Amino acid sequence: MEISPWDNAMAQLDKAADFLNLNKDILVILKNCERINIVNLPIRRDNGKIECFTGIRVLHSSARGPTKGGVRFHPQVTLDEVKALAFWMSMKTSVVGLPYGGAKGGIICNPQELSINEIERLTRRYTSMIGTFSPWRDIPAPDVNTNSQIMAWIMDTYSMNVGETSLGVVTGKPIDIGGSLGRETATGQGMLYIMEEFCKKTKQKLDSSTTIAIQGFGNVGSAIARFLYERHNCKIVAVSDEKGGVYNPDGMDMIELKNHEQKTGSVVEFDGTTFISNEDLLRLKCDFLLPCALENQINDKIAETTEAKTIIEGANGPTLSSADKILEERDIIVVPDILANAGGVTCSYFEWVQDLHSFFWDLDRVNHELKRILAHAFDDVYKMYEKEKTDFRNAAYLVGIARIARAIELRGIYP
Ligand code: NAD
């Protein structure tokens, strides 16, 4: 039976809570999401008929500040998945030390079957009805199948509702209306910084001899692919998307691959490559495997057979808890999502700060701050990893949970 993302997240929490001997009162708070909003979204389709969609927003914890987390549009969105993603956001913002809690949202829909005008109407209706968005309460951002244009509609809808332009209500906006330089590629950029720190600490090379396989070629996957290719000349041997993957043991040109993907809508059939399935990609012999698509990709079967040396999680929740155990036994290190892909939310934090100050930074400042904050977070986790002799994910949880627990204790329970 397939384990759900929420059960997976709770298994990770239980492991860390046992390790920390966490106060049971704190544990019960962390195991329950603060708020769950589910709304019915009627929109008029272009053919004149009304159709109803379901929208979800889960606020997991606001103990450390306003809640932060993306909104995804996908036919397989479930409440269980959104709860898990909201929980992971609480952990992520805490591990990185951002003054936020965690949230996540989604609309159950297939955006490929909707026109751009229908997507706009759906986004505006969702923003109005979900009722939690505000710069001081709950700040959304892009996730799977959502982009800067959708964030612009969220900003505009909220602003119309409150009667004033509110830039800080959402991040991942276009630059012209309060977006931050570097936000589009910040998750990939952050992954690169984390990989560089990891290689420094473990005395590994990141150069033309380094082989890399990447699952998913969207915002996260294509950005990290380009950075590794351009900055370190790494050999990207396999890349995939939902239609399948491409493989070349000698490495591929990531700029050409992006052009091909933009022209054809998929990475498959890229010149000079052979087809590889998503499952085979996850098992490839390589120095780094980067899952950058969806949850639950690395199951026990993959964990038992993969020949990757290290896994860097670009996606949220790509590895099952049971698979984690197998990977640990096989000495395959997993740099967890809540650290590895935290560049996106960190740059979102910069965007929010810039919006609230109405003072905008240049790209050098954004990248400098991003590197500084992520290197610091990596260091905190690495120290915990060495001190507690546990796996990397658990070390990140120990850092994250301790900070949330402290905030809950200091604030106390109202009333
Ligand atoms: P995206 O929609 O831009 O890209 C998703 C990619 O995954 C696409 O290439 C798609 O074809 C591929 N894909 C979908 N289903 C697949 C499958 N079954 N097998 C293989 N490939 C598949 O999404 P994104 O923003 O790049 O997000 C990807 C992951 O990274 C998600 O888990 C998301 O939560 C996480 N994440 C995103 C950000 C961000 O800033 N966008 C930040 C942190 C984490």
User: What pLDDT does residue 343 have?
Assistant: 98
Q: Say what percent of the chain tops pLDDT 90.
A: 99
Give the CATH number, domain containing residue 241. 3.40.50.720
Nearest protein CA to atom 17 of ligand 1, as residue: 242
User: What pLDDT does residue 252 have?
Assistant: 98
CA of 402 to the centre of ligand 1 (A): 29
- Of 15, 104, 235, 258, the active-site residue reads 104
Pocket test residue of 242, 312, 374 for ligand 1, highest count of atoms within 8 A of CB: 242
Whether residue 11 lies inside any domain: the answer is no
Whether residue 194 lies inside any domain: the answer is yes
For residues 366-378, give the mean pLDDT.
98
User: What pLDDT does residue 1 have?
Assistant: 65
Q: Is the pLDDT of residue 20 over 90?
A: yes
pLDDT one-digit tens code per residue, 195-212: 999 999 999 999 999 999
Whether residue 4 lies inside any domain: the answer is no
Domain count, the chain: 2
Nearest protein CA to atom 35 of ligand 1, as residue: 315
Residue 153 neighbours by CB distance under 10 Å:
19
pLDDT one-digit tens code per residue, 39-69: 999 999 999 999 999 999 999 999 999 999 9
The range of the structural domain enclosing residue 354 comes to 180-415
Q: Is the pLDDT of residue 19 over 70?
A: yes
How does 11-38 read in b/e, with b if 16+ C-beta sit within 10 Å? ebbebbbeebebeeebbebbeebbeeee
Average pLDDT, the chain: 97
Domain boundary (158, 176, 194) is at 176
Domain boundary (124, 141, 176) is at 176
Residue with tokens 């949230």: 103
How does 305-342 read in b/e, with b if 16+ C-beta sit within 10 Å? ebebebbbbbbbbbbbbebbebbbeeebbbbbbbbbbb
Residues with CB under 6 A from ligand 1: 142-145, 187, 215-221, 240-242, 278, 292-294, 314-316, 341, 344
Q: Is the pLDDT of residue 33 over 80?
A: yes
Which CA distances in Å does 115 have to 40, 45, 118?
19, 9, 5
Query: Same structural domain for residues 313 and 268?
Result: yes
For residues 315-320, give the mean pLDDT.
95
Query: Same structural domain for residues 167 and 190?
Result: no
CA of 145 to the centre of ligand 1 (A): 8
pLDDT one-digit tens code per residue, 233-249: 999 999 999 999 999 99
Q: Is the pLDDT of residue 2 over 90?
A: no
CA of 314 to the centre of ligand 1 (A): 8
Nearest protein CA to atom 37 of ligand 1, as residue: 143
* Nearest ligand 1 atom to alpha carbon 216: 7
Q: Is the pLDDT of residue 188 over 80?
A: yes
Domain boundary (176, 209, 242) is at 176
Clarify whether 68 is annotated catalytic: no
The token pair that represents 404 in the structure block: 């949330």
Query: Same structural domain for residues 211 and 305?
Result: yes
Q: What is the pTM of this model?
A: 0.96
Query: Same structural domain for residues 58 and 194?
Result: no
pLDDT band at 3 (very low <50, low <70, confident <90, very high): confident
Q: Is the pLDDT of residue 32 over 90?
A: yes
Whether residue 356 lies inside any domain: the answer is yes
Nearest protein CA to atom 15 of ligand 1, as residue: 242
Query: What is d(CA 156, CA 174) in angstroms, rounded to the nearest whole number?
Result: 12
Q: Are the beta carbons of 239 and 245 closer than 8 angstroms?
A: yes
